């Protein structure tokens, strides 16, 4: 991978995000690498090239996203369909996808510029409801929100009836998202480079309702039934569409995924142990 131009995106609400972005940009320019700043960040660095995060996919060879997992999720959706690897730099206290810590950024960039940094392909999901479209790297969630009653979610896999979940909602997750909301609802951890889809009910009324892992090629259709106003379909906890009783959401594996840089310091098992507080060898 020949990297000659790097895009930089930052969560402006994170402490030190601007300072660290500008510092990395200067470091790259000293090495003859062109830098493109995301438009919101660009005013802090006068005179340098800028673009929207959506346009960056056509302009750069890699993207560095300063923030947390939320920043990386937003970036992934913006560049979906472009084979541009994303390096997530963790400025917060918890992150499964932003695997590069701030003190490791320059060592990681040295490896990336030499072509010695490994990347992994991650599948994404596409959801369609009411003529609207959502993309997700982590998950698509149907949630009753502030409604007082649980909802009925009639669920089909490849047009075959699976079950009707009576629950607070339903999480349709990728392996990347298996350590996010799905995990907190009792879903399994799935290695992120696998292709699979996880269906996890949220607080199901029936104790026999359990998470299920299905093939990635399967199409999931979910029909909402509720006595109240409706529910919300949300992608990665960020983009949402309202549903009403009788509406159907269809979820499939997206045609295009995204590439993420892996940590050069830790393998996935070490990341799991660190993030989940598991013990090491005795």
Alpha carbon distances (Å) from 147 to 142, 150, 185: 12, 8, 19
Contacts of 167 (CB under 8 A, 6+ apart): 150, 151, 153, 201, 202, 203, 204, 205, 209
Alpha carbon distances (Å) from 2 to 79, 107, 147, 258, 280: 19, 17, 52, 18, 37
Q: Is 123 helix (H, G, I), strand (E, B) or coil?
A: coil
For residue range 55-100, list pLDDT tens digits in order: 998 999 999 999 988 999 999 999 998 989 999 998 876 677 888 8
What is the CATH superfamily name and number for domain 125-253? Probable inorganic polyphosphate/atp-NAD kinase; domain 2 (2.60.200.30)
Report the candidate in 83, 88, 170, 81 with the shortest Cα–Cα distance to residue 124. 81
Kindly tell me if the per-residue pLDDT of 53 is higher than 90: no
Q: What is the pLDDT of residue 46?
A: 65
Is the domain 5-122+257-276 a CATH 3.40.50.10330 member? Answer: yes
Same CATH fold assignment for domains 5-122+257-276 and 125-253: no
Report the candidate in 280, 271, 282 with the shortest Cα–Cα distance to residue 90. 271
Q: Which residues are annotated as catalytic?
A: 69
Structure tokens at 146: 């502030």
DSSP code for 65: E
Q: What is the pLDDT of residue 281?
A: 65
Give the integer Cα–Cα distance in Å for 118 and 254: 23
Residue 261 pairs in a beta bridge with 119
The model's confidence at residue 102, banded by pLDDT at 50, 70 and 90, is confident
Half-sphere exposure of 46 (CA within 13 A, CB side): 0
What residue segments make up the domains of the chain, in order of their start? 5-122+257-276, 125-253
DSSP code for 43: G
The model's confidence at residue 137, banded by pLDDT at 50, 70 and 90, is very high
CB 219 within 8 A of CB 108: no
Question: What number is the average pLDDT over the span 128-155?
Answer: 90
Higher-confidence residue of 51 and 147: namely 51
For residue range 261-270, list pLDDT tens digits in order: 988 778 888 8
Give the integer Cα–Cα distance in Å for 218 and 215: 6
The model's confidence at residue 142, banded by pLDDT at 50, 70 and 90, is very high
For residue range 192-226, list pLDDT tens digits in order: 999 999 999 999 998 889 999 999 999 999 999 98
CB 17 within 8 A of CB 88: no
Give the integer Cα–Cα distance in Å for 47 and 174: 40
Q: What is the pLDDT of residue 126?
A: 97
As a dihedral over the C-alpha atoms of residue 190, residue 193, residue 197, residue 200, rounded to 10 degrees, the angle is 30
Least confident of 9-18, 120-129, 155-164: 9-18
CB 267 within 8 A of CB 149: no
Structure tokens at 75: 């970036």
Give the integer Cα–Cα distance in Å for 87 and 233: 28
Q: Is 190 helix (H, G, I), strand (E, B) or coil?
A: coil
């Amino acid at each position: 991978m020949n990297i000659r131009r790097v895009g930089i995106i930052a969560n402006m609400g994170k402490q030190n995000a601007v300072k660290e972005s500008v510092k990395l940009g200067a470091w790259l320019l000293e090495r003859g690498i062109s830098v493109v700043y995301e438009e919101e960040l660009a005013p802090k660095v006068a005179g340098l090239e800028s673009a929207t995060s959506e346009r960056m996919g056509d302009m750069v060879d890699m993207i560095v996203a300063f923030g947390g997992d939320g920043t990386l999720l937003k970036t992934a959706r913006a560049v979906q369909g472009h084979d541009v690897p994303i390096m997530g730099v963790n400025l917060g206290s918890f992150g499964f996808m932003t695997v590069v810590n701030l003190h490791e950024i320059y060592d990681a960039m040295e490896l990336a510029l030499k072509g010695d940094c490994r990347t992994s392909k991650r599948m994404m999901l596409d959801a369609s409801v009411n003529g609207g479209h959502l993309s997700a790297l982590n998950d698509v969630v149907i949630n009753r929100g502030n409604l007082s009653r649980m909802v009925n979610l009639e669920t089909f896999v490849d047009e075959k009836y699976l079950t009707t979940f009576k629950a607070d909602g339903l999480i349709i997750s990728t392996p990347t998202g298996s350590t996010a909301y799905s995990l907190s609802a009792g879903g399994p951890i799935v290695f992120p480079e696998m292709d699979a889809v996880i269906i996890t009910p949220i607080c199901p009324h029936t104790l026999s309702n359990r998470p299920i892992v299905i093939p990635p090629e399967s199409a999931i259709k979910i029909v909402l039934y509720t006595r109240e106003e409706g529910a919300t379909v949300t992608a990665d906890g960020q983009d949402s569409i309202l549903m009403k009783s009788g509406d159907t959401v269809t979820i499939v594996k997206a045609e295009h995924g995204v590439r993420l840089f892996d940590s050069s310091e830790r393998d996935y098992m070490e990341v799991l142990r660190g993030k989940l507080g598991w013990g090491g060898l005795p």
